[in-house]
Copies of this chain bind each other. A is one copy, B any other.
Amino acid sequence: MSPASPVTLCDLLGRQQPGMTLEQPFYTDPGIFEEDLNRIVARQWLYVDHVSAIPQPGDVLTYEIAGESIILVRGRDREVRAFFNVCRHRGSRIITKACDHVRTLTCPYHAWTWDLEGKLVKARSMADDFRTEDWPLHACRTRIYQGLVFICLAEEDDDDVIEFDSIADRLDPYIENHCLGAAKVAARKAYPTAGNWKLAVENFRECYHCAPAHPGYTSVNAYVLDGERDQQARSETVAAWAATWEERGVVTRSTGVWGDSYDERQPHAAMRQPIKEGYRTLSRDGRPVAPLMGRLIDWDGGETLMVFGPLFYIYLAGDHAALFRFTPVHATHTDVEVTWLVNGDAREGEDYDEERLTWMWDVTTIEDTRIIGDNQLGVNSRRYRPGRYSTRERATTNFVEWYKRRMGDQL
């Protein structure tokens, strides 16, 4: 059966009210999910992994997003490149199972073979007019930043993608002293989440829910209750902390409030604030969970949230970085992966303990998977109607407004 009068994406966008949550189909409809992938996700720089995952030429890994499988491989020239995991002959996956090193990229089906730079070097029994140079692997844009590999699925001629340099230039001061390129992965956990990716993002970008829903997180982050109880006092606390550390040359001012958009194509930002009186890091008791990172000069008691568009965030503390990667899977499912980095020379058991390191974000993210799943179930109701955001959900509101503009621009 086809519906009598289908509602279009245009109609839906047209009737959205500012300051209100999205209408139901944006959270449930498989067709809109496909549009999200094509219009939003495919045009973002997306974090994949830390470079230490493929240290040597021929080291390889794959990342599945938006129905794609992307091969990351380090070439003989030590450059990291990304390719679509699709054979140019009949379309087979080329890397088909757990595999961490290759000499060439050889399709297991008919043995078409590409070198590590994506050039076709062997294809048996082709007609005489077949030219191998016409059939390189489909390349995928790649960029390494602070030891983190980013890709972008958009075609090369799609100019609706931000220059990565403009992100890097703005965010360098907040991240460069952590020297993440020399860090190591201390822990990595997966949080499958039964909700639309936008519900997961909305959740991540506000802390209005922290007091009722995240007791552990709230016990560590003073801003949650401070801001709720007395905004004025909170501002003074932040100002005093900033004054102390600016004097010592530490950056403490944010690029802007959370979620502010510097570039419509991929809004990015960094925000700093003090953790809690007496707390050096984001741990249960405030005591360090690993050695001070990189070139940091002292425990400044601050935390940094870095925003790389809707789907990737970093929380920096003095002794670790927590990386949050959101992978939309289908209209009502999102995979969240959290990766914890510490200094490259830190030794597990001596310099850090995984349980203490991961505690706060692990309990918080587990709580969020439940929250987001319940949010999705409610949004599925015929009686769901857009609701009104509070004053404490500004970065979430900003995301939703940005989402609507991006979807609308492209109609």
Shortest Cβ distance from residue A172 to the other chain B in the assembled complex, whole angstroms:
32
Whether B91 pairs with A124 at a CB distance below 8 angstroms is no
Q: Is A99 an interface residue (CB 8 A)?
A: no
- The answer to whether A213 and B384 touch (CB under 8 A), given A2-B6, A125-B392, A390-B124, is no
Q: Is B21 touching A91 in the complex (CB atoms < 8 A)?
A: yes
The complex places the Cα of A84 from the Cα of B384 at a distance, in Å, of: 9
Number of interface residues of A (CB under 8 A): 73
- A125–B69 CB distance below 8 A: no
A387 pairs with B87, CB closer than 8 A: yes
Q: Which of A356-411 contact B (CB under 8 A)?
A: 370-371, 374-375, 377-385, 387-392
A111 to B210 alpha-carbon distance, docked (Å): 10
> Which of chain B's residues have a CB closer than 8 A to the CB of A88?
385, 387
B87→A130 contact, CB < 8 A: no
Q: CB distance B109 to A212 under 8 Å?
A: yes
Question: Hey, which chain B residues are within 8 Å of A127, CB to CB?
Answer: 388, 390-391
In the bound complex, residues from chain B placing their C-beta under 8 Å from that of A2 are 2-3, 6, 8, 31
Q: Is A25 an interface residue (CB 8 A)?
A: yes
Give A377 to B383 CA distance when docked, in angstroms: 33
Q: A1-B8, A25-B1 are in contact. Are A378 and B93 (CB under 8 A)?
A: yes
Contacts of A388 in B (CB 8 A): 89, 126-127, 130
* CB interface residues, A 1-50, toward B, < 8 Å: 1-4, 6-9, 21, 25, 27, 29-32, 35, 38, 42
A90 at the A/B interface (Cβ < 8 Å)? yes
**Which residue of chain B has its CB nearest to the CB of A137?**
B383
Contacts of A119 in B (CB 8 A): none
A86 within 8 A of B: yes
In the complex, whether A102 has a CB less than 8 A from a CB of chain B is no
If A91-B384, A380-B67 touch, whether A126 touches B374 (CB-CB below 8 Å) is no
Q: A204 vs B348: C-alpha distance in the bound complex, in angstroms?
A: 52
Would A92 and B3 count as touching, CB distance under 8 A? no
User: Cβ of A371: which chain B residues have Cβ within 8 Å of it?
Assistant: 92, 108-109
6 nearest A-B residue pairs (beta carbon): A1-B31, A111-B212, A2-B6, A91-B379, A84-B383, A93-B374
> What are some 11 contacts across the A-B interface (CB < 8 A)?
A1-B8, A2-B2, A2-B8, A42-B382, A91-B378, A92-B374, A93-B378, A96-B374, A111-B212, A124-B208, A125-B392
> Hey, which bits of chain A sit against chain B, CB under 8 A?
1-4, 6-9, 21, 25, 27, 29-32, 35, 38, 42, 66-69, 84-94, 96, 108-111, 123-127, 130, 135, 138, 153, 202, 208-209, 211-213, 228, 370-371, 374-375, 377-385, 387-392
